[in-house]
């Protein structure tokens, strides 16, 4: 009966296109980016569309069980740079991961990363065999990973309409024309909540004024590509403004409320599912801790094997002080040989994070603050201990603390006593679990699940011939018109003119000789 009701709901509330569309999904980065685009691609395939993913191989994070692909689903066109470059890039990337764990996240490191993405973009656009094969497919639409500017250049190069899928929160480091009042909408990387005091608003304004400069520096990494591959080089801000939709991997159970535009859609939680049974080996380990339960530890696909012994030593000692089981995603072969894992720790090179968080005995998630991990914690109502390392993770974990979902420790503050006591507090203080369950109810009570929301809006764009009716004129205006600087300048000059005229009249009256009366 339940299946029949669901089928009727989909048929009545979800009009079907008369013909399936051909959709290209573009994934040029691994890790969580791949996991999201994999889910997006599979969702549209299940809906009846013909889907092909352009997948860049050779990234240091495309490895492990979660990247095994899906049988009987979408098709893949793979591309890879040379083995020599991949080896150099992976070595650089490993050093960057170490810097993150040492608390040395920097904008210059981010620019270096964007420089690598630009170099890879030049290579893939120059691969005429791959580009020509994609052109011959005649896709109706592309769905892009909007974090990587190359995706926009590639879609423009192929002459495709596109939907921009941004894997993070609404305040991401891209200018997409969202109204963002500095009084209560935190600027990317400001590490502010929506409750700002006076100095918080001062900081937010300063960060907001600097953001266009930072964005220009990022775009500059890709400027030569436009000159090399296009007769008329496109600007990235223009390409951003031409997206049929902007889709964000966020949800207002975790996001701060703020104004949206008709072309923005929030679909956070694509990777959150009802929990399936965990492998028997993990179930046996969990059973050994009875009602105490267990802690899930994952610092993301990039940092599951970085050998920084002093940080591992502090975490290991902190876990040894708590009575809970610990399932830690860290490749056992990379664990320091002279460091014995605490008796309550089980090291695994991969773990079913969603299913573990949905387990009845899951008590806490220790995470770097990746968006997908946090949304899964919200979905399953599990408190969070955050350890931000780079990028948007600092802002993400500000939201965790502001919402009451958990607490944050920076890697530079990591000491075994503090680590262990923070874990105890998060599990024993029922306020965190109560808040997590309240956020879970908010997250799961949306009218449509995230995947159906995404398909609904993309099919709307396909049926209506594009998303131009959703995009405001502000996306086409120069920045000085959007901010009314030309109007402000005109009014300012008029005011100065009136004040100058008034001053001249006063001076002339003051210096006018008075007639003497005899």
At 195-212, the pLDDT tens digits run 999 999 999 999 988 888
- The percentage of residues in the chain with a pLDDT greater than 70, rounded to a whole number, is 90
Cβ-Cβ contacts under 8 Å for 137 (sequence gap 6 or more) = 22, 24, 52
In this prediction, residues 106-113 reach a mean pLDDT of 82
Round to whole Å and give the CA distance between 366 and 377. Answer: 10
Q: State if pTM tops 0.85.
A: yes
Summarize pLDDT for 330-366 with one digit per residue, the tens.
888 888 888 899 999 999 988 999 999 999 999 999 9
In this prediction, residues 248-254 reach a mean pLDDT of 94
Question: Which pLDDT belongs to residue 7?
Answer: 46
Domain topology for 280-444: Rossmann fold (3.40.50)
Residue 446 has pLDDT above 70, yes or no: yes
pLDDT-derived band at 69, boundaries 50, 70, 90:
low
In this prediction, residues 467-474 reach a mean pLDDT of 88
Residue 441 has pLDDT above 80, yes or no: yes
Residue 65 has pLDDT above 50, yes or no: no
Question: Which pLDDT belongs to residue 322?
Answer: 95
Candidates 461, 493, 485; CA nearest to 165 is 461
Judge contact between 451 and 270, C-beta under 8 A: yes
In this prediction, residues 121-137 reach a mean pLDDT of 94
- The percentage of residues in the chain with a pLDDT greater than 90, rounded to a whole number, is 58
Query: Taking all residues of the chain, what is their mean pLDDT, rounded to a whole number?
Result: 87
Of 138-147, 206-215, 288-297, 316-325, the poorest mean pLDDT is in 206-215
Question: Which pLDDT belongs to residue 173?
Answer: 62
pLDDT-derived band at 112, boundaries 50, 70, 90:
confident
In this prediction, residues 179-199 reach a mean pLDDT of 91
SS3 labels along 388-443: CCCCCHHHHHHHHHHHCCEEECCHHHCCHHHHHHHHHHHHHCHHHHHHHHHHHHHH
pLDDT-derived band at 10, boundaries 50, 70, 90:
very low
pLDDT-derived band at 31, boundaries 50, 70, 90:
confident
User: What Cα–Cα distance (Å) separates residue 66 from each residue in 268, 273, 323?
Assistant: 19, 15, 30
Round to whole Å and give the CA distance between 256 and 236. Answer: 27
Judge contact between 326 and 346, C-beta under 8 A: yes
Question: Which pLDDT belongs to residue 301?
Answer: 61
pLDDT-derived band at 86, boundaries 50, 70, 90:
confident
User: What Cα–Cα distance (Å) separates residue 190 from each residue in 173, 185, 201, 206, 481?
Assistant: 11, 10, 10, 9, 26
CATH class given for the domain over 14-271+448-475 = alpha beta
pLDDT-derived band at 63, boundaries 50, 70, 90:
very low
In this prediction, residues 216-224 reach a mean pLDDT of 89
User: What Cα–Cα distance (Å) separates residue 259 from each residue in 181, 249, 477?
Assistant: 9, 16, 19
Question: Which pLDDT belongs to residue 103?
Answer: 64
Residue 62 has pLDDT above 90, yes or no: no
In this prediction, residues 411-423 reach a mean pLDDT of 89
Summarize pLDDT for 222-247 with one digit per residue, the tens.
988 888 899 888 989 999 999 999 99
Of 78-92, 148-162, 252-266, the poorest mean pLDDT is in 78-92
Tokens of 154: 């590639």
User: What Cα–Cα distance (Å) separates residue 202 from each residue in 196, 399, 484?
Assistant: 9, 20, 21
pLDDT-derived band at 471, boundaries 50, 70, 90:
confident
User: What Cα–Cα distance (Å) separates residue 177 from each residue in 57, 191, 223?
Assistant: 32, 21, 21
Round to whole Å and give the CA distance between 313 and 315. Answer: 6
Q: In the chain, which segments carry CATH 3.40.50.2000?
A: 14-271+448-475, 280-444
Question: Which pLDDT belongs to residue 477?
Answer: 83
Question: Which pLDDT belongs to residue 67?
Answer: 53
pLDDT-derived band at 88, boundaries 50, 70, 90:
confident
């Amino acid at each position: 009966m339940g299946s029949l009701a669901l089928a009727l709901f989909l048929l009545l509330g979800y009009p079907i296109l008369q013909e399936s569309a051909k959709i290209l999904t573009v994934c040029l980065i691994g890790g969580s980016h791949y996991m999201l685009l994999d889910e997006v691609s599979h969702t549209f395939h299940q809906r009846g569309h013909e889907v092909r993913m352009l997948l860049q191989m050779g990234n240091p994070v495309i490895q492990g069980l979660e990247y095994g692909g899906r049988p009987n689903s979408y098709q893949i066109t793979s591309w890879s740079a040379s083995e020599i470059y991949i080896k150099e890039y992976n070595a650089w990337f490993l050093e960057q991961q170490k810097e993150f764990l040492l608390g040395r996240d920097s904008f210059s490191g981010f620019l270096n990363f964007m420089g690598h993405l630009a170099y890879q973009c030049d290579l893939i656009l120059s691969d005429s065999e791959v580009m020509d094969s994609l052109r011959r497919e005649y896709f109706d639409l592309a769905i892009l990973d909007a974090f990587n500017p190359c995706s926009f250049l590639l879609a423009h190069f192929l002459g495709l309409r596109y939907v921009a899928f941004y894997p993070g929160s609404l305040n991401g480091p891209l200018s997409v024309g969202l109204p963002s009042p500095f009084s209560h909408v935190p600027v990317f990387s400001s590490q502010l909540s929506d409750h700002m005091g006076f100095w918080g608003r001062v900081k937010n304004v300063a960060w907001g004024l600097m953001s266009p400069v930072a964005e220009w520096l990022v775009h500059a990494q890709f400027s030569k590509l436009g000159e090399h591959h296009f007769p008329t080089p496109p600007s990235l801000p223009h390409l951003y403004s031409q997206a049929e939709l902007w889709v964000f991997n966020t949800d207002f159970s975790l996001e701060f409320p703020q104004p949206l535009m008709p072309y923005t859609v929030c679909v956070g939680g694509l990777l959150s599912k009802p929990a399936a049974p965990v492998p028997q080996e993990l179930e046996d380990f969990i059973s050994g801790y009875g009602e105490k339960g267990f802690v899930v530890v994952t610092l993301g696909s990039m940092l599951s094997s970085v050998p920084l012994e002093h940080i591992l030593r502090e975490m290991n000692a902190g876990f040894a002080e708590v009575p809970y089981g610990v399932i830690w995603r860290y490749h056992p072969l990379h664990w320091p040989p002279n460091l014995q894992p605490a008796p309550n720790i089980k090291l695994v090179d991969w773990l079913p994070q969603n299913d573990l968080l949905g387990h009845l005995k899951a008590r806490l998630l220790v995470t770097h603050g990746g968006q997908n991990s946090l949304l899964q914690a919200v979905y399953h109502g599990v408190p969070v201990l955050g350890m931000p390392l780079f990028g948007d993770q600092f802002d993400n974990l500000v939201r965790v603390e502001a919402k009451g979902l958990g607490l944050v420790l920076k890697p530079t503050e990591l000491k075994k006593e503090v680590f262990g006591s923070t874990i105890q507090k998060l599990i024993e203080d029922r306020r965190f679990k109560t808040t997590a369950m309240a956020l879970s109810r908010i997250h799961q009570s949306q009218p449509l699940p995230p995947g159906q929301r995404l398909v609904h809006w993309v099919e709307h764009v396909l049926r209506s011939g594009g998303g131009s009716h959703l995009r405001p004129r502000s996306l086409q205006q120069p920045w000085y018109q959007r901010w009314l600087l030309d109007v402000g300048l005109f009014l300012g000059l008029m005011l100065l003119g009136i004040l100058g005229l008034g001053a001249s009249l006063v001076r002339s009256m003051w210096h006018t000789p008075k007639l003497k009366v005899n």
